[in-house]
Amino acid sequence: MIKKKTYVIVGLGLIGGSLAAAISKRIPNASVIGVSRSSQKISFAKKKRFIDEGFTDFKSAVPSADYIFICTPVDTIPKLVSEIDRYAKPGTIVTDVGSTKSEIVKSVERKEMKHIQFIGSHPLAGSHLTGVRHARPDLFDRAFVFVTPSKNTSAKAVRDISLFWRKLNTSVKIMSPEVHDQLVSEISHLPHATAALLMHAVSSKALSYATSGFLDTTRVAQGDPRLWAPIFLTNRMNLAKNLNTLEQALAQLSRLVRQGKAKPLVRFLKEASAKRSKLA
Ligand code: NAP
């Protein structure tokens, strides 16, 4: 018989709700507890059978937890980890799902944790939509999950949290918080910044005729700024460097367009097309 484990999800939004739903669906004998500041979200998550129980205050939920997942905006995570440590039982594994990792891990490690073991995670799954109403149990299916131990993380915590994510049908990649932040800056934060820039660059008159190409390119610009501003700010050095690279590429393209010669422009576009075609 599999021993019953208790999973506490703090923050019932898109990722927290989906995580609760995925655990309830995929992990047998799991007790899933949701913590939300909103009793309506708790009722909704209970009705959808994402969670077994819910609390508006994490102090009631944390003491029984084997695993705790913090699913709130990145700038709120370090403080929550410290507070949770006061109420958790010894050995509780605490992770987060934040889109940046270095600042969170450094900030947590600056304080001595008395009860918990913290290890950062980041599931590379989601959407521009937010809130528990958009949560779904299959959100993480076949997604990459970055697990980001530091030199102080125990091998057991890495093993346990990796095993957990694999149970949700994900592909786990282990790397340092610093490497994580460099990579996601290029494949997630820079594209988000670019989509936002495009929205600023286009006139309202032209927008009324926007169709699939424009909509595909700018979908992520709809993301919640209350989530995205802290993501940009906690990864600002990497993002600033990548924006600089983008500026250089933009200057090159601008030169080619002004020159008006087809051959170098075709070469530039062909290179981009070939690179993109290798992806799904
Ligand atoms: P979301 O749907 O807006 O949910 C965030 C939840 O955090 C809210 O439902 C709220 O939970 C809680 N929260 C908001 N502000 C808070 C505050 N000031 N203090 C404490 N709790 C607060 O956003 P999400 O997309 O699930 O994002 C959650 C985390 O996942 C973020 O760290 C984000 O970087 C990361 N992430 C997002 C994606 C994505 O594509 N969306 C992908 C991977 C990782 P309650 O109202 O229930 O308390």
Indicate which residue's Cα is closest to atom 42 of ligand 1: 126
* Helix residue ranges per DSSP H, the chain: 14-26, 39-47, 58-61, 77-87, 102-110, 155-167, 177-184, 190-201, 204-207, 212-218, 225-234, 236-259, 262-277
CA distance 251 to 45: 49
Q: Yes or no: is domain 180-277 CATH 3.40.50.300?
A: no
- Give the mean pLDDT of the chain: 97
In degrees and rounded to multiples of 5, residue 8 shows phi and psi of: -110, 130
Residues flanking ligand 1, CB < 6 Å: 11-16, 36-38, 41, 71-74, 76, 97-99, 122-123, 126-127, 130-131, 224, 227, 231
pLDDT, tens digit, for every residue of 179-217?
A: 999 999 999 999 999 999 999 999 999 999 999 999 999
- Both structure tokens of 237: 């050095």
Whether the CB-CB separation of 61 and 67 falls below 8 Å is answered with no
To test the ligand 1 pocket, which listed residue (8, 14, 18) has its Cβ within 8 A of the most ligand atoms?
14
In terms of phi and psi (left: phi > 0; alpha: psi -120 to 50; beta: otherwise), the region of 28 is: beta
pLDDT band of 280, cuts 50, 70, 90: confident
User: Taking the CB of residue 257, how many other CB atoms lie within 10 A of it?
Assistant: 11
CATH number 3.40.50.720 given to 5-175: yes
Rounded (5°) CA angle 41-42-45? 85
Task: Read off the pLDDT of each residue in 269-276 and give the average, rounded to a whole number.
Answer: 98
pTM: 0.96
Alpha carbon distance 101, 74 (integer Å):
9
What percent of the chain stands above pLDDT 70? 99
From 107, 227, 232, mutation site for ligand 1 pocket: most ligand atoms within 8 A of C-beta: 227
User: What pLDDT, on the 0 to 100 scale, is given for residue 276?
Assistant: 97
At how many degrees (to 10) do helices 39-47 and 14-26 cross? 30
Q: Where are the domains of the chain?
A: 5-175, 180-277
The per-residue pLDDT for 1 is 62
Per-residue model confidence (pLDDT) at position 2: 65
Nearest residue (by CA) to ligand 1, atom 8, is 13
Ligand 1: atom nearest CA of 132 is 2
Percent residues over pLDDT 90 in the chain: 98
